Chain A
Amino acid sequence: MTFKNTLKNSAQWLILILTSAFVLIPVYMIVTASFKNEREIFEVPMALWTENSGLFNFQRLDRFPLYIWNSIKVTFFCTVIHLGTASTSAYAFTKLKWKGRDTLFILYLMSMMIPIQVIIIPQFMVVKSLGLYNSHLALILVGSFTVFGTFLIKQFFMTLPDSLMESARIDGAHEWVIFLRIVLPLAKTVLATVLIFSFRWFWNEFFSALIYLASPELKTLPLGMTDFVAEYMVYFGPQMAAALISIIPVMILFFSLQRYFIQGIASSGIKG
């Protein structure tokens, strides 16, 4: 029995270690290749640092400071707007009673099923007719609401007893006062969860940028990385340097706030 257990244990650890390697190798390669020249990138085993390593790949990304700035700008505004629209919508869906409420929410949930490509042509026409084509505002408005965020906050609001609002209502407080003074301060954790999910979403967002941005000086970081795909001569070093820049902020965010990430996903799985 003990022998069988040891065998089982070793097998489990072997699986875990091999999978860790599978997960880590691409990340390790991005980190190390960013500092290597084109020849040494392909050397196996991949060295952490060689005598020829340096910052030269980053220096070749001359347009990327602008891309990074664009990404920061769009991500910031989108995330703030997400928080606002998701929390007010969630309040309307849980703590206010009105006709058609549940039907509309089901419609919201069903829209998660639609791939963006299905609606992109008319959406593109709407954006164009609003005069927003080739602007950051297009990305910000197209992404101004979030079903997932609304759902998460709604799940939390449902746990708040109605009596909490009821006494304030009897005292004649306006719903907005109740929302801002009583409900929102209780929702800090779920708001933080929505914040990091939205940050990750917009920092990585690619398709809308691809469709709505035409000028090179407007490109966000993920769209900027397509510069490489179009190039005839492929240099891998600068590509990896760009990939590194794109993954570092979310990695820092993830490892410092992973509790929120994991809670957010786990609670989206619990039926509500």
Chain B
Amino acid sequence: MKTKTLERASWPTVLSFLLPGFTGFLLFVFIPMISTIGVAFTNYSGGPRWKFIGFRNFQLLLESSQFHQSLLVTLQFVFFTVLLQMVLGLLFAMLLNQGFRGTTFFRSLFFMPNVLSAVGVSLAFSLLFHPSQGFANQLLGILGLPPNTWLTSSDTALMSIIIVTLWMSFGYYMIIFLGGLQSINPALYEAASIDGANGFHTFFKITLPMLSPTMFFAMTMSIINSFKVFDQVFMMTGGQDGGGPAGSTNVVVFDVYQNSFKNYKFGYASAESLLLLLIILTITLIQFRNQKKWVTYDL
């Protein structure tokens, strides 16, 4: 029920509403974002003397094997985390969308880890993953399986971080998918069952296409959030000096943190974070570009 369009409000009125929030955004996000671009071209290290050094930081980064590894670790983390978040989120949303008794109980239970402190949860999982006596390895022993090295080996440390991340987040994506499933018109399923479609067909011909806008939103969020993983890495792989055995959990945001607040290479770290942002931006743009191919907004 739209009435006539709003009159332009006066600037003092607009600013009185906008500034309380906008000031924080300007001072602590917008200006820093622009400044990061500037700092990336300097050799600033916190001291009074610094100079512009052109693309030197970027050049050093592209030559640095540590950065290459860090990038690889991040992409591995993002790939597996996003994939599993989507699969598990959708699987449990579909399980709980059948309307049997106890649905709300499981929904709450699976979502609950999402509200907990990542720091506290990381401490708990460090104990569960304790190499000699942790519950995880004892459980493997009971099942007759060999113990796992979890956080202590470069082969398994990243996987351990992924497990903690999934523990905390799959319920969040489940809730998003549940919302999407519940907005699908049930008449579509009725029509399909009259036509004799089996479960396999209904899933690929109705559920997935109708869910594609939700999937698109969930995937975008999941990718962006995965690039931000920090607390678990810090807490579970050695704090300020962390990054896992042989740098196996040293994701780019963590490497940026170490380069800036441990090594005081502010210029270098800024260049590194810009490259990261560029990657996130590119992936998000590609996603938005490609959505036409698989996201259905009509019907």
Q: Are B36 and A121 in contact (CB under 8 A)?
A: yes
Nearest-Cβ distance from residue B50 to partner chain A, whole angstroms? 12
- Chain A residues with Cβ under 8 A from B21's Cβ? 85-86, 88-89, 144-146, 150
Interface class of chain A by DSSP: helix
Is B72 at the interface (CB under 8 A from chain A)? no
CB contact under 8 A between A24 and B109, given known A123-B32, A243-B120: yes
A121 touches B266 (CB 8 A): yes
Residues of chain A lying within 8 A (CB to CB) of residue B130? 42
Nearest 3 interchain pairs by C-beta? A122-B35, A85-B21, A122-B32
Q: A119-B36, A243-B124 are in contact. List 19 more A-B contacts (CB 8 A).
A: A27-B124, A33-B127, A97-B5, A98-B14, A118-B274, A119-B273, A121-B32, A122-B32, A207-B230, A211-B261, A225-B123, A226-B234, A228-B123, A229-B238, A230-B239, A258-B108, A262-B108, A265-B179, A269-B218
Cα(A142)–Cα(B235), bound, Å: 23
Contact residues in B for A169 (Cβ distance below 8 Å): 7
Q: Knowing A95-B6, A162-B2, A247-B120 touch, does A89 contact B22 (C-beta < 8 A)?
A: yes
Among residues of B, the one whose C-beta sits closest to the C-beta of A82 is B21
Cβ A265 vs Cβ B139 within 8 A: no
Cβ of B256 and Cβ of A118 under 8 Å apart? yes
Give the interface size class of chain A. Answer: 35 or more
Q: Confirm or deny: A182 has a beta carbon within 8 angstroms of a beta carbon on chain B.
A: no
Residues of B within 8 A of A240 (CB): 123-124, 127
Mask for B93-130, Cβ within 8 A of A = 1, else 0? 00100000000001111111101111111011101101
- Residue pairs across A and B with Cβ atoms less than 8 A apart, 10 shown, are A16-B95, A113-B284, A114-B277, A161-B2, A179-B17, A204-B119, A229-B234, A239-B123, A240-B123, A267-B179
For window 264-283 of B, CB contacts with A under 8 Å fall at 266, 269-270, 273-274, 276-277, 280-281
Residues in B with CB closer than 8 Å to A20 are 106, 109-110
CA distance A239 to B130 in the complex (A): 14
For window 14-58 of A, CB contacts with B under 8 Å fall at 15-16, 19-20, 22-27, 29-30, 33, 41-42, 44, 46
Category for how many chain B residues contact A: 35 or more
> When the two chains form the complex, which single residue of A23, A30, A111, A125 contacts B120, counting CB atoms closer than 8 Å?
A30
Name the B residues within 8 Å of A122 (CB-CB): 31-33, 35-36, 39
Task: Give the shortest distance, in Å, between B234 (CB) and chain A (any CB).
Answer: 8
**Is B204 an interface residue, CB under 8 A from the partner?**
no
Assembled-state Cα–Cα distance A93/B107 (Å): 33
Query: Interface residues, chain B, CB within 8 Å of chain A?
Result: 1-9, 11, 13-14, 16-18, 20-25, 27-33, 35-36, 39, 92, 95, 106-113, 115-121, 123-125, 127-128, 130, 133-135, 138-139, 142, 167, 171-172, 175-176, 178-180, 183, 213-214, 217-218, 224, 227-228, 230-231, 234-235, 238-240, 253, 256-257, 260-261, 266, 269-270, 273-274, 276-277, 280-281, 284
CA distance A146 to B270 in the complex (A): 24
How far apart are B220's CB and chain A's nearest CB, in angstroms? 9
Decide: A88 near B20, CB < 8 A? Known: A121-B36, A121-B39. yes
| Cα-based distance from A186 to B111 in the complex (angstroms) | 28
Q: Given A144-B21, A269-B218, is A121 in contact with B116 using a C-beta cutoff of 8 Å? A: no
Contact of B231 among A112, A145, A150, A206 (CB under 8 A): A206
Contact A16 B17 (CB under 8 A): no
